Copies of this chain bind each other. A is one copy, B any other.
């Protein structure tokens, strides 16, 4: 029943979330018209000029429309994320602190970019290590020092989702596993990867929902700010 029209005046966007909680309410684009998206973006911006506005699962068409109104909007095409930066510069990230965003395969990259772009929108420095899954274990081992020194790591993996456990065995910080819906057959749209990560033998692995790059980016940002 998602195809029915939605009246924007029904929406109650939580414009004070950034000042109250240090993270903005994201605008999830699928199922919303461009008019609705822009209307909500405007209400969020006018409610708090210091808060970046983040649109998730956006596409080119949405970006072009948003760009007309918000000239400073930035588009991460791979991650499908549009950021309308805060009007007040965010400068809280120290120069040394960084998070790692890691993927097992190439098809996990769009989810990883959603996480990375979300963190960057919140002023967090991101290092990316992509396509370093466990079937060629040397690839992740080469990143060992980078992982050890990170404030936290976001690890996106589909299929069997084993990579977060390996990263969890290397890191000195929390590892956020993001199961992706990549794979076929008994992957069941990401459920296998999800169960793998939940059952991880590395105790510093926590998990977010399947394909939820946005949530992982938010949590990584909150950790890096502590």
Contacts and interface: CB of A to CB of B under 8 A. Distances in A.
Contacts of A57: 1
Interface residues of A, dominant DSSP: loop
Query: Chain copies in the assembly?
Result: 8
Contact of A191 (B20, B195, B210): B195
- Most-contacted residue by chain B among A77, A131, A186, A204 (CB, 10 A): A186
Given A57-B1, A210-B184, A10 B171 contact: no
Given A162-B134, A196-B161, A210-B184, A78 B6 contact: yes
Nearest to A187: B199
Interface string A169-190: 1111110100111111111101
Nearest to A17: B136
B219 A174 contact: yes
A137 B133 contact: no
Contact of A135 (B14, B79, B190): B14
A222 B220 CA distance: 13
A107 B32 CA distance: 9
Query: Chain A interface residue count: which class?
Result: 35 or more
A12 to B, nearest CB: 4
B169 A106 contact: no
Nearest to A130: B10
Contacts of A218: 203-204
Contacts of A135: 14, 165, 168-169, 200-202
Interface of A: 1-2, 4-7, 10-12, 14, 17, 20-23, 26, 31, 57, 77-80, 104-107, 109-111, 113-114, 130-137, 139, 141, 151-152, 159-162, 165-166, 168-174, 176, 179-188, 190-212, 214-215, 218-219, 222-224, 226
30 contacts: A1-B111, A1-B181, A1-B211, A5-B78, A6-B106, A7-B78, A10-B106, A10-B131, A22-B172, A133-B201, A134-B162, A134-B165, A135-B169, A135-B200, A137-B166, A141-B141, A159-B199, A160-B162, A160-B165, A160-B200, A161-B199, A183-B199, A185-B194, A185-B210, A186-B190, A186-B194, A186-B209, A187-B199, A192-B199, A203-B214
